[in-house]
C-alpha cells in the first residue's frame, strides 16, 4: 500500500468548486440527514457549511423529514408541573433521542404547547401580571428563539391556540377573555410573522378546551394549516356539540359532528385529514366490551375509518393521539390516574401496549403531539 502522508490523505473539500457534480451529490445527501446530524455537519468544512446555510436548505430538508414522521413526548412532572426534556419517539414506540429544553436561551423548562414543522411554541405564565403569558417560538436543533410581544390583557387565563406554519410564514392564535356588564366571552387574536403586534380577528368565539395536565396547553388538531377544536356542551361537560375551525385566511368555520360522541373523544390529524376518535361504552354495564370508532372528514363529509371492539378498561380520558400513516399512538388516562400507552393499527384493528413507557414516565404526566425534524427558523425559512 502506498505511503500516504497526512497532507496527502486529507480530502481537500474546501477546494471543491462551487458548481459541479460533487455539489449536486452533496445537495442530495445532506437534506436527508437527521436535523441534529445536519447541524453538526456544518462544522466539517466550509463547503458543507455553505450548502447547509443556503436559505433553501431547511425547506428541502423538511421535504425529506416529512417522509419520516415522529412523535414528541413532553413529560410534565406530577409534582412540579414542569418538563425539562422533550423525547422523540419513532413509529415503533421506541424513544430515539431526548432534547434538553431548559438549556435553550429564554425557554422555560415547562409549558411546551405544540409543534409545527419542527418549530415549538413555549407558553410561560407571567407571575407578576395576572392572566398574561409569554410566548416563544423555538427550534430545538438550531436553538433559534423568537419571543412574541404580549397580547391583549385577558379577564381570565388566556388560551393559546396553535402555531400554524405555511411555506414562508407562521401564525399563532390566542384566545383572551373579555368581561362587560356581567357577561363574559372570548375573542381571538392572531400574531403573524412579519408583524409587530397582535390583531383581533374574531369576537365572541368559543374557546379551546384545555389539556387536563396543564391549563396553558389547549386541546386541538392542526390539519393542513388549519386549527380545529371541539365546542363542548355546558350542561354535559366533555360532550361535543360541534367543531370550530380557523384557517390560514383567518376564517372561523363551524363543522358538524359525525354523530353523537361520547365524553371520551379526541380530534387529530390522520392520513392527511381531520379525524375524530371516540370510545363507545355502556358505563352502566362495565363488563360489556368497548368500541373504538374513528371517523375521517373527507370532501366535507364524515366517513367511518375504523371500528374495533376491545376489552373494557376504566378509561377516564384520552390525553393524546398521534397518527403514523395507518397507526395511532394513544396516551389514555385511567380512573386510577395511571396512564395507558398504546399503538393502534387501524387496518388490522390491533392494540400494542407500550409497557416500557409506563415504566420510564412513571412519575410524569406526558402528552404527545406530531413532530417532524426540521431546520426551519421562526421566520419560516
pLDDT digit string (tens) for 225-266? 888 988 887 777 778 889 998 888 888 899 999 999 988 899
Q: What is the pTM of this model?
A: 0.82
Q: What is the CATH number of the domain that holds 171?
A: 2.120.10.80
pLDDT mean over 83-97: 87
pLDDT tier for residue 89 given thresholds of 50, 70 and 90:
very high
pLDDT mean over 48-69: 90
pLDDT mean over 190-210: 80
Q: What is the pLDDT of residue 365?
A: 77
Residue pair 97/105 in contact (Cβ under 8 Å)? The answer is: no
Q: What is the pLDDT of residue 131?
A: 64
CA neighbours within 13 Å on the CB side: how many for 295?
18
**How far, in Å, CA of 292 to CA of 297, rounded?**
17
Q: Are residues 182 and 44 in the same domain?
A: no
**How far, in Å, CA of 263 to CA of 236, rounded?**
9
pLDDT mean over 126-130: 66
Supply 258's cell numbers.
359525525
Supply 297's cell numbers.
372528514
* Residue 110 located in a structural domain: yes
Quote the domain boundaries for residue 19: 9-54
* Residue 265 CB contacts under 8 Å (≥ 6 apart), including other chains: 230, 238, 240, 276, 277, 278, 279, 318
Q: What is the pLDDT of residue 277?
A: 93
Least confident stretch, 43-47, 79-83, 126-130, 163-167: 79-83
Res 305 pLDDT > 60: yes
CA neighbours within 13 Å on the CB side: how many for 6?
0
* Residue 379 located in a structural domain: no
Residue 24, φ and ψ in degrees, nearest 5: -60, -40
Q: What is the pLDDT of residue 9?
A: 41
pLDDT tier for residue 145 given thresholds of 50, 70 and 90:
confident
Q: Are residues 103 and 35 in the same domain?
A: no
**In terms of pLDDT, which residue wins out, 181 or 330?**
330
Least confident stretch, 69-73, 77-81, 186-190, 256-260: 77-81
Q: What is the pLDDT of residue 380?
A: 45
Q: Are residues 112 and 43 in the same domain?
A: no
pLDDT mean over 282-293: 75
Query: Residue 226: which of 207, 203, 204, 249 has the closest Cα?
Result: 249
Q: Are residues 246 and 306 in the same domain?
A: yes
* Residue 32 CB contacts under 8 Å (≥ 6 apart), including other chains: 64
Q: What is the pLDDT of residue 108?
A: 58
Note the residue count of the chain: 381
Res 3 pLDDT > 50: no
pLDDT tens digits along 334-369: 888 889 999 999 999 999 999 999 999 888 878 888
Q: Are residues 27 and 85 in the same domain?
A: no
* Residue 377 located in a structural domain: no
Q: What is the pLDDT of residue 313?
A: 82
* Residue 4 located in a structural domain: no
Q: Are residues 47 and 77 in the same domain?
A: no
pLDDT tier for residue 4 given thresholds of 50, 70 and 90:
very low
Rounded (5°) CA angle 119-124-127: 170
Q: Are residues 39 and 70 in the same domain?
A: no
Q: Are residues 80 and 139 in the same domain?
A: yes
* Residue 334 located in a structural domain: yes
Looking at mean pLDDT, say which of 31-35, 169-173, 249-253 comes out highest: 31-35
* Residue 380 located in a structural domain: no
Res 279 pLDDT > 60: yes
Domain count, the chain: 2
Domain boundary among 54, 72, 87: 54
pLDDT mean over 127-133: 68
pLDDT tier for residue 7 given thresholds of 50, 70 and 90:
very low
pLDDT tier for residue 209 given thresholds of 50, 70 and 90:
low
Supply 298's cell numbers.
373527507
Calculate the average pLDDT of the chain: 81
Q: Are residues 294 and 149 in the same domain?
A: yes
pLDDT over 70, % of the chain:
80
Amino acid at each position: 500500500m502506498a505511503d500516504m502522508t497526512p497532507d496527502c490523505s486529507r480530502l481537500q473539500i474546501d477546494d471543491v468548486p462551487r458548481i459541479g457534480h460533487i455539489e449536486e451529490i452533496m445537495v442530495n445527501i445532506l437534506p436527508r440527514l437527521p436535523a441534529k446530524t445536519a447541524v453538526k455537519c456544518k462544522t466539517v468544512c466550509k463547503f458543507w457549511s455553505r450548502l447547509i446555510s443556503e436559505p433553501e436548505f431547511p425547506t428541502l430538508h423538511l421535504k425529506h423529514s416529512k417522509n419520516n414522521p415522529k412523535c414528541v413526548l413532553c413529560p410534565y412532572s406530577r409534582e412540579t408541573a414542569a418538563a425539562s426534556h422533550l423525547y422523540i419517539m419513532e413509529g415503533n414506540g421506541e424513544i430515539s433521542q431526548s432534547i434538553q429544553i431548559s438549556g435553550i436561551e429564554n425557554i422555560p423548562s415547562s409549558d411546551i404547547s405544540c409543534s409545527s414543522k419542527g418549530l415549538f411554541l413555549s407558553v410561560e405564565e407571567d407571575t407578576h401580571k395576572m392572566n398574561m403569558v409569554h410566548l416563544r417560538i423555538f427550534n430545538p436543533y438550531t436553538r433559534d428563539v423568537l419571543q412574541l410581544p404580549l397580547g391583549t390583557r385577558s379577564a381570565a387565563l388566556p388560551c393559546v391556540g396553535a402555531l400554524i406554519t405555511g411555506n414562508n410564514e407562521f401564525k399563532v392564535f390566542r384566545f383572551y377573555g373579555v368581561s362587560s356588564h356581567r357577561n363574559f366571552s372570548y375573542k381571538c387574536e392572531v400574531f403573524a410573522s412579519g408583524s409587530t403586534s397582535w390583531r383581533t380577528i374574531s369576537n365572541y368565539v368559543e374557546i379551546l378546551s384545555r389539556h387536563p395536565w396543564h391549563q396553558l396547553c389547549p386541546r386541538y388538531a392542526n390539519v393542513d394549516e388549519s386549527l380545529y377544536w371541539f365546542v363542548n356542551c355546558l350542561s354535559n361537560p366533555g360532550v361535543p356539540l360541534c367543531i370550530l375551525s380557523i384557517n390560514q385566511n383567518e376564517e372561523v368555520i363551524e363543522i358538524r359532528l359525525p354523530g353523537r360522541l361520547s365524553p371520551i373523544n379526541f380530534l387529530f390529524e390522520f392520513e392527511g385529514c381531520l379525524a375524530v376518535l371516540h370510545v363507545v361504552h355502556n358505563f352502566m354495564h362495565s363488563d360489556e366490551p368497548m368500541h373504538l370508532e374513528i371517523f375521517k372528514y373527507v370532501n366535507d363529509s364524515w366517513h367511518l375509518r375504523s371500528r374495533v371492539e376491545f376489552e373494557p378498561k376504566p378509561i377516564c380520558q384520552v390525553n393524546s393521539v398521534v397518527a403514523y400513516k395507518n397507526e395511532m399512538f394513544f396516551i389514555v388516562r385511567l380512573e386510577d390516574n395511571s396512564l395507558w400507552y398504546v399503538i393502534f393499527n387501524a387496518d388490522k384493528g390491533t392494540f400494542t401496549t407500550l409497557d416500557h413507557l409506563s415504566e420510564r414516565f412513571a412519575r410524569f404526566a406526558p402528552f404527545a403531539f406530531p413532530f417532524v425534524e426540521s431546520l426551519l427558523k421562526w421566520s419560516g425559512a
